[in-house]
Structure 1
């Protein structure tokens, strides 16, 4: 009983931190469990397995680092985000989209996409390119949507490959191909469909990436996110694990030293496994999604 009570307490604190909900119940739980329709993915699909794993904690930090390298996405966050005053609020918004899109019904997915698309209509402005040209932007611009998508995709994929013990069903190619479905409701139909295409797409963005003083400030903020004191040592490890898993060319541009990947890989993998065990193996989100899929007759 004591162990169960301790697990529940730790689980509630963890969920409260990520969702911002005072009772520890993510507000998107009801969205995921609602209805009797299937979603984009099944429990046997690569995105479900990858996004249900604790390695996403590293992947999320890594994605933020990558996005900061593009002046368009960086400016959009700086001008239209409350990340400095409410970092956990912005985090919970991102987690909501990822969770609903991965585990929700098709109705929930399109509803979430509608919410994000409406938000994107307000994100407009100008930014200075790597070539020092001033360019207007909208969050819904296909090139910016594509960059944000591949930054997330590559980050969650590499984090899982480096810091999870779970194999990816169908491998990297299946993850890339299936997760491309997630951005179609956002209006992006040019997402890569294989790992090779993902790498090619990332390479195509190289000339657009740049590190400016604003980039450095945001990366320093990401490194020192104002989190509760007890979580800071764990977050520091997650940050360095994210940094170490970036391509060398990105690390060199950022200019921030990290520990070698071969040292961090076993430490972080074991830490995430311990965290999973401490909090408990159950996932209310996945359980709700599975129950809905059973009602839909998709799985038994």
Structure 2
């Protein structure tokens, strides 16, 4: 039955275990900082996205997509993938270096976005205190090849272990650099306009108050969790103490979020998945 379909992964997967962590909000921001360092990928976003005008709406849509692919039924995940592929197929951009027009669904660009996203998820989870063995991390990367297939990638072309992810980063690092678009995007990610309900009176042109300072803390933690080579591209943030401070912060944030009642920290897609899993587990075994 469709109502009992547990989707692409299911409750026994490492993917479910990783993505049930609310602290992955930091991982999403870390992935965006990392993705901005790829000039061609950054051009594709800058020339096609309205993220500056609708930053929080875009964030919500991305979060809904990820939750659907992880916790939705197989049909829901595949439908989300089809919609994303159709959107990407209509978009193109101009390479800022060569002037060449390219499609944003080029496999290399899709692969970059996929790898930085899933590596950010599992790395942030581990550094926040989620107990994952090396084998479980490898299993997560292998499972996430199913997500890569949804966006149009050949799963075999996507890193499926931590060692393969490391090798991929070593291969692509010569292409990465801090461009003007990357710098502008990083600044925007660090200090975006807050939703109006969270905004307090403006002083000196900056919306101040607890929500703003809390967001600064999350953004700083996300930057500190970047690989040392990426932090150096952002201007010399490669000190070991930066990484240590970020790890302390993300662990504290995870503990704070764990104190929030479950019904408030779990979205409706995850809750529906848990209900399906509970129904299926309660079913009598066939004789």
Give the alignment's TM-score, normalised by structure 1.
0.81
Q: Which moved more, 1:238-247 or 1:83-92?
A: 238-247
Distance 1:236 1:168, change over 3 A: farther
Matched residues in 1 for 2:282 and 2:15: separation? Answer: 17
Matched residues in 2 for 1:193 and 1:165: separation? Answer: 20
Matched residues in 2 for 1:299 and 1:265: separation? Answer: 39
2:10 match: secondary structure: coil
1:125 match: secondary structure: strand
1:134 aligns with 2:114: no
Partner of 2:270: 286
Q: Which moved more, 1:285-294 or 1:96-105?
A: 285-294
Q: Which residue of 250, 268, 273 corresponds with 2:255?
A: 273
1:192 aligns with 2:159: yes
Give the alignment's TM-score, normalised by structure 2.
0.84
> Given that residues 224 and 245 in structure 2 are in contact (C-alpha distance below 8 angstroms), is that contact kept between their aligned partners in structure 1?
no
What displacement does 1:269 show?
A: 1.3
Alignment root-mean-square deviation, CA: 2.1
1:80 match: secondary structure: coil
Please list every run of 5 or more consecutive structure 2 residues that lacks an aligned counterpart in the other structure: 200-209
Matched residues in 1 for 2:237 and 2:36: separation? Answer: 17
Partner of 2:219: 239
Matched residues in 1 for 2:100 and 2:38: separation? Answer: 13
What displacement does 1:285 show?
A: 3.0
Q: Which moved more, 1:96-105 or 1:248-257?
A: 248-257
1:88 aligns with 2:64: no
Matched residues in 2 for 1:231 and 1:159: separation? Answer: 22
1:255 aligns with 2:223: no
Q: Once the two structures are superposed, what CA deviation does each residue of 1:119-171 show, in whole Å capped at 9, x if it has no partner?
A: 1122212112xxx3233321211001000001101111111111134446942
> Given that residues 46 and 168 in structure 1 are in contact (C-alpha distance below 8 angstroms), is that contact kept between their aligned partners in structure 2?
no
Partner of 1:158: 123
Matched residues in 2 for 1:71 and 1:123: separation? Answer: 17
Q: Which moved more, 1:42-51 or 1:56-65?
A: 42-51
Matched residues in 2 for 1:194 and 1:169: separation? Answer: 9
> Given that residues 237 and 268 in structure 1 are in contact (C-alpha distance below 8 angstroms), is that contact kept between their aligned partners in structure 2?
no
Q: Which moved more, 1:118-127 or 1:189-198?
A: 118-127
**Alignment of structure 1 residues 101-112 onto 2, 5 Å:** 101-112=69-80
Partner of 1:16: none
1:164 match: secondary structure: coil
1:207 aligns with 2:191: no
What displacement does 1:70 show?
A: 0.8
